[in-house]
Chains A and B, each alone.
Chain A
């Protein structure tokens, strides 16, 4: 096995007296789809914010290709190739889908900001490249038809895709997806699952935080289960399905929702 792309070690976050995440450790391998799941309030979203560095850990660390990234500013982490997406409410409401994706190419700029101001050759080259790349990404995610729509006018399904498009524009090595299937019906979920697979097939490692068990079981190479801020299981979907602790944590949840 090669070195993992992302290592999470003893990650702990306390808010006052409350421990939201307690000594969670796991690895993400290059090119896999790994999902972090758990019942509501288990600490999933805190883990997500910790990895994307929007929240600083109380203890423990996150390493990207061996380099500590926890505690760095979010934009620095993004610059290294760890890019997060948001749920559909977090978009640039006043911009078109295409403009949002073009702006999101920020990290690929060769020219300086002053260069863009004065319209240097490098800046023009960048602008052309960004526009081409944005069109490619929009087409890849099936958004080419709505590229010139205002983001605030797009339906929910397209907004999810737009969120991923903005993430891809930043040229990620690993994409962190925040509940990509939340609130979707069966059909939408099937499309969204395909979308995440396609992103992985572009060579982008995917880390999901999700509570739709059925979708997670279908898509993940491996799964990490969190309950009360503690990791209770880790393994392939088959192993997780058979894990007593997981079944216990989800007790009271109808069997079909956890994909049993």
Chain B
């Protein structure tokens, strides 16, 4: 990387961080639109889950099952916090890891499927997650889990690092910072992953699995690794979402969510790590703006989507993969 490009990247990251952690909170404080904290938290969390879907796209699999892992992650965190009395902060990584582990078990067989078959199976997977949540005793069936306590304080050696969320007048503010921080962290990790050797192996697998395996790449293993990371992100996003809502039901994440995660990736462009972030933002706010149209909301939304496909069938930014593996 040349020095000027490095400087450019550093500047871009600085602008992004300043916008997310300084400018937006200041703007919200100035306008008094504190409801935006909730909206933007949602965007951040959905973007994290969509980032996971993007990674499965990156290995050449169209994943319409991220809703399943958001649900699993949400339930894992909710059960740990309510039934076992864990701290939310501990339950969050455990929920993510639980999703990663489960997705490895599920992924081993289904990642052998390609093309439409994989897509259909992942779609079915979302239903499996919903039905499992309905059937299991620990998830409390259709009644779901409610009155989940908000995240408490993090104290280390008597020093309060993060105050308990219940101490805030507007609970949505700390959730915004948490979600935005997690999004930044997750996408930084994704960026690093894609630009490391593993990312290049993923790209090689996407372009030709047989050729990749002929040069000694353990393709089945790496597929599962990519899927596990993807599901981890889905689980993290779901778990924080549940903490904000303080409740979870089997219908909290459905097939519609799974489809939307996929749409976010397509809309943002598949060749760009930060595409899912942009796609989520545009789709979420587009949907929100259409709220005024009342009963015509879905009709207009889907109509615009169809038009977009007609005019720009390759995505808003670009559906082209980058010609070179690194910037």
- Convert A52-73 into 0s and 1s, putting 1 for each residue whose CB lies closer than 8 angstroms to a CB of B: 1010000000000000000001
**Chain A residues, CB < 8 A from B218:** 73, 75
Q: A123 with B197: in contact, given A92-B204, A92-B208 (CB under 8 Å)?
A: yes
- Convert A99-126 into 0s and 1s, putting 1 for each residue whose CB lies closer than 8 angstroms to a CB of B: 1101110110100010011010001001
The answer to whether B214 touches A103 (Cβ under 8 A) is no
The answer to whether A75 touches B213 (Cβ under 8 A) is yes
The answer to whether A99 touches B216 (Cβ under 8 A) is no
> Number of contacting residues on A, CB 8 A?
38
The answer to whether A103 touches B192 (Cβ under 8 A) is no
Please tell me if B203 contacts chain A, counting CB pairs below 8 Å.
Answer: yes
State which of A91, A119, A127 has its C-beta within 8 Å of the C-beta of B211: A91
Q: A99 with B324: in contact, given A78-B216, A106-B215 (CB under 8 Å)?
A: yes
The answer to whether A96 touches B200 (Cβ under 8 A) is no
Please tell me if A93 contacts chain B, counting CB pairs below 8 Å.
Answer: yes
State which of B192, B197, B203 has its C-beta within 8 Å of the C-beta of A95: B203
CA distance A83 to B215 in the complex (A): 7
**Chain A residues, CB < 8 A from B198:** 113, 116-117
The answer to whether A99 touches B211 (Cβ under 8 A) is no
Please tell me if A79 contacts chain B, counting CB pairs below 8 Å.
Answer: yes
The answer to whether A73 touches B324 (Cβ under 8 A) is no
The answer to whether A116 touches B197 (Cβ under 8 A) is yes
The answer to whether B215 touches A94 (Cβ under 8 A) is no
Q: A96 with B324: in contact, given A117-B196, A117-B198 (CB under 8 Å)?
A: yes
The answer to whether B215 touches A170 (Cβ under 8 A) is yes
CA distance A75 to B214 in the complex (A): 6
The answer to whether B216 touches A75 (Cβ under 8 A) is yes
Please tell me if B152 contacts chain A, counting CB pairs below 8 Å.
Answer: no
Q: A106 with B217: in contact, given A90-B210, A96-B324 (CB under 8 Å)?
A: yes
State which of B197, B200, B207, B325 has its C-beta within 8 Å of the C-beta of A93: B207
Please tell me if A169 contacts chain B, counting CB pairs below 8 Å.
Answer: yes
**Chain B residues, CB < 8 A from A113:** 196-198, 201
**B221 closest partner in A (C-beta):** A75
CA distance A151 to B218 in the complex (A): 23
CA distance A75 to B251 in the complex (A): 42
The answer to whether B213 touches A99 (Cβ under 8 A) is no
The answer to whether B196 touches A95 (Cβ under 8 A) is no
CA distance A119 to B191 in the complex (A): 13
- Contacting residues of chain A (4-26) with chain B, CB-CB under 8 angstroms: none
Please tell me if B259 contacts chain A, counting CB pairs below 8 Å.
Answer: no
**A130 closest partner in B (C-beta):** B197
CA distance A102 to B217 in the complex (A): 13
Please tell me if A74 contacts chain B, counting CB pairs below 8 Å.
Answer: yes
**Chain B residues, CB < 8 A from A107:** 215-216
CA distance A126 to B198 in the complex (A): 13
The answer to whether A95 touches B208 (Cβ under 8 A) is no
Please tell me if B323 contacts chain A, counting CB pairs below 8 Å.
Answer: yes
The answer to whether B214 touches A84 (Cβ under 8 A) is yes
Please tell me if A166 contacts chain B, counting CB pairs below 8 Å.
Answer: yes
- Convert B209-246 into 0s and 1s, putting 1 for each residue whose CB lies closer than 8 angstroms to a CB of A: 01101111111100000000000000000000000000
Among B200, B219, B321, the one with the most A-chain Cβ atoms within 10 Å of its Cβ is B200
**Chain A residues, CB < 8 A from B211:** 86, 90-92, 166
- Contacting residues of chain A (123-137) with chain B, CB-CB under 8 angstroms: 123, 126-127
Please tell me if B193 contacts chain A, counting CB pairs below 8 Å.
Answer: yes
Please tell me if A42 contacts chain B, counting CB pairs below 8 Å.
Answer: no
The answer to whether A94 touches B208 (Cβ under 8 A) is no
A sample of 13 more A-B contacts (CB under 8 A), given A95-B203, A99-B324, A166-B211, is: A54-B210, A75-B219, A78-B215, A78-B216, A86-B214, A90-B210, A92-B204, A94-B203, A95-B207, A103-B203, A103-B204, A103-B325, A117-B193
Chain A residues with CB under 8 Å of chain B are 52, 54, 73-75, 78-79, 83-86, 90-96, 99-100, 102-104, 106-107, 109, 113, 116-117, 119, 123, 126-127, 150, 166-167, 169-170
Chain B residues with CB under 8 Å of chain A are 192-193, 196-198, 200-201, 203-204, 207-208, 210-211, 213-220, 321-325
**CB<8 Å pairs between A and B, sample of 17:** A73-B220, A74-B213, A74-B214, A78-B213, A83-B216, A90-B210, A94-B323, A95-B203, A95-B204, A96-B323, A99-B325, A103-B215, A104-B215, A106-B201, A107-B215, A116-B196, A170-B216
Task: Pick the 8 closest A-B CB pairs, nearest first.
Answer: A116-B197, A78-B216, A107-B216, A92-B207, A170-B215, A74-B213, A116-B196, A104-B215
